[in-house]
Amino acid sequence: MKFSGSLSEKDKEKASYDIIGVPFDGNAYKKGAREGPKAVRRASQRLETFLWHEKLELSDLRYYDHGDLKLDHKLEAGSIKELDVARKKVFIGGDHSISYPIVKYLFEHGGVAKVIAVDAHADFRDSYKGKKFSNASVMRRIAELIGFESVTEIGIRSSSADEYDLMKDKIRIYDAEMLPEKGVECILNEIEGEEEKTYLSIDIDVLDPSIAPGVENPEPCGMSLESLLALIRGIIGKANVVASDLVEVNPRLDSANGITSISAARIIFEILAGYWESDNRY
């Protein structure tokens, strides 16, 4: 099953954007995120294809769902090499560790220079349970690769004391407590006009667990879906976002009617509409 609104295979050359599933949970402690891409594709069929906020039909956005990308257990790029780096992309995880090989490839081949992560967790441990490439270390590895000053984390409300000490003066942080008031506007003003190619990584656990229960590490006091969608719309409108991911949907831990997957599909609609609007605004 393809993501809702995808062009058919015969029309795939007409696509401006790519969707790629990454069914990998080799670095997660509780397994199940490998089933995320399939569940999110299925959930996308349950939503209306007319985007109320933008007054756009999904099919007008012209994207193609390429199916799944294989990552091996060492997180080597695998079939990433077959992708056209010039087209805007959305990757559907998978545990958060998938962001590292994708960013590494795009950093080395596609000119991605900055990463904005929207997440409940700092993911800044040097290693977790002996794994250097764990989903709990992904932003640390990315910062070491692209430079700490090129990393922004938004929505953070959980880290160890050691992680906090390491990151607090080195990366740009807008934590969860800054968001409800003037936080979103402040973030958007600060990123406005930044021209460097940016990768936007969205961990669904940034949402409050009451609305996104199907995650490995639920963290209380999270964002509403409305604020997250407004944030995504703003970031894509103001920064030069060339690729995004949506990670950590774990269907095994979701509610019976799959609300986390539905929220994830809705977020991906917003990313695609954001790409379309930033390319067609003028």
Nearer to Mn ion, 65 or 203 (CB): 203
Per CB under 5 A, which of residues 115..174 are in contact with Mn ion? Answer: 119-121
Q: Which stretch binds Mn ion (CB under 5 A): 174-182, 203-211, 231-239, 266-274?
A: 203-211
Nearer to Mn ion, 176 or 229 (CB): 176
Asked if 205 touches Mn ion (CB under 5 A), the answer is yes
Asked if 25 touches Mn ion (CB under 5 A), the answer is no
Of 3, 2, 1, whose CA–CA distance to 267 is shortest?
A: 3
Of 132, 100, 94, whose CA–CA distance to 117 is shortest?
A: 100
Q: Cα separation of 210 and 218, whole Å?
A: 9
Rounded alpha-carbon distances, angstroms, from residue 112 to 106, 240, 245: 6, 10, 14
Per CB under 5 A, which of residues 97..126 are in contact with Mn ion? Answer: 119-121
Buried b (16+ CB within 10 A) or exposed e, 151-169: bbbbbbbbbeeebeebbee
The single residue among 203, 245, 254, 270 that binds Mn ion, judged by CB under 5 A, is 203
Asked if 208 touches Mn ion (CB under 5 A), the answer is no
**Cα separation of the two ends of the chain:** 34
Asked if 18 touches Mn ion (CB under 5 A), the answer is no
Measured at CB, which residue is nearest to Mn ion? 121
Nearer to Mn ion, 206 or 273 (CB): 206
Amino acid at 115: V
Binding-site ranges for Mn ion (CB under 5 A): 119-121, 203, 205
